[in-house]
Chain A
Amino acid sequence: QKEVEQDPGPLSVPEGAIVSLNCTYSNSAFQYFMWYRQYSRKGPELLMYTYSSGNKEDGRFTAQVDKSSKYISLFIRDSQPSDSATYLCAFSNSGGYQKVTFGTGTKLQVIP
């Protein structure tokens, strides 16, 4: 079983749609949960960062963590063409050395 599973997509949605991106993980030691956005030919950009179960909201983005199910989600409301990118989930253990384990990324296209 892979440590992190993420559907690679591509996912194509019309502008204004609600997007749901998901990852599952198997490592119970993961305590920090992140979502990165990566535009073509750019480095990953941190979008959301949380270390607990539940929801965290930032503008149009909501990150959801369910530790009991080892499942995390990113919701994008009122999606825009500028949201078209690859979204990577990422995980790390607690402690001073934060080795980050990434998913393979889901490619999202928002069609105007």
Chain B
Amino acid sequence: SAVISQKPSRDICQRGTSLTIQCQVDSQVTMMFWYRQQPGQSLTLIATANQGSEATYESGFVIDKFPISRPNLTFSTLTVSNMSPEDSSIYLCSVEDTTSHEQFFGPGTRLTVL
């Protein structure tokens, strides 16, 4: 299984600022995913990031608010822009094993917006 790390592990930010979350995988993967997990709710897919192409966003999520970069096959970033308290959540990246289609998750970034 892939080993995934995320930075930062947690952060407290002020309203109106932006935070960039990094996701690093120990092997090359085609597809990386960004999820949000709000308190008491299920994981919600924000977008899918393929290397070399624009990210694909799910309904309710837009590129201006959550820009994503995918510069190579082991790394991706998610930026949460112009933050409000409603953005307080855990943000998780995940990767898919292309053979088994299993998904593996990073440890998450716990974001609090004041």
Contact = CB atoms under 8 A, between A and B. Distances in A.
B57 interface: no
Interface of A: 4, 8, 32, 34, 36, 41-46, 49, 88, 92, 97-100, 102-105
B40 A8 contact: yes
Contact of A42 (B40, B94, B101, B107): B107
A105 B105 contact: no
Given A41-B110, A97-B48, A98-B96, A46 B42 contact: no
Interface residues of B, number: 22
Contact of A43 (B31, B102, B105): B105
A4 B41 CA distance: 12
A45 B105 contact: yes
Contacts of A41: 108, 110
Contacts of B48: 97, 99
A102 B42 CA distance: 6
13 contacts: A4-B42, A34-B103, A41-B110, A43-B92, A43-B105, A43-B107, A43-B108, A46-B102, A92-B101, A97-B48, A98-B96, A100-B103, A105-B42
A28 B45 CA distance: 20
B43 A98 contact: no
